[in-house]
Structure 1
Amino acid sequence: MIEIQLPQLEEVARQAEGRLAAIESRLAEIEDRLLLIEALLQQFVSQREIKEAYSISEMAEICGKTENVIRIWCREGRLRGIKRAAGCGTSKQWEIPHEEVVRYRAHGLRPSSK
């Protein structure tokens, strides 16, 4: 039979308490990081709401291209854009419907119609 002395038991208990405190501290850090990740994810999701149509600048950001490239693609029929009235007067600006953004992400540009 193994005989353990009281001072040895006390030392083992102190070591276990130290390890437990370290684990609890690390767990608290992990919980804090998880809360931060959840908050950032919620912020990301709220920024990515689905819109009916996207502006040229929004589509440029989605595609990683310049606004001029997006306008050219719309004029050439490579992206299906719609000209909408913009502000006062007769000027119009391109809008890209959500369905076209989904199609572009899945299949890329349409063949050039020119």
Structure 2
Amino acid sequence: MIRGVRGATTISSNTADEIFAATEELFEKMIKENHIQPDTVASVFISTTEDITAAFPAKALRNFAGWTYVPVMCMREIPVENSLKLCIRVMLHMNTSLTQEEIHHVYLNGAKVLRPDLDANTAV
């Protein structure tokens, strides 16, 4: 079964260092919380709000051992009025025997407001 694992975070300024640090933190937590192995990942989509232009967040995933050949794509989030600014969102597709209820979605920093129905950092 292929399941999606969602995650999101925010940065405070549009710099490459902040983009990479926040994205690495997000992926580290998503990987740990869901026991993700790179060879089980089908693809990763990363979207950013229009105000993030200093770097591709996908480059941060390449700092993790074993993730070299995982397909990753960056894209622009649709610009909805009054939406969260400086936000990086992730949709990771993985092969797993986990149920939907067992997947832990991760929302960090200002992105916690996107899913107030979930625990601040993870949810079941």
TM-score by length of 2: 0.23
| Higher RCO (C-alpha 8 Å, min separation 6) | 2
Higher helix share: 1
Is the radius of gyration larger for structure 1 or structure 2?
1
TM-score by length of 1: 0.25
Higher strand share: 2
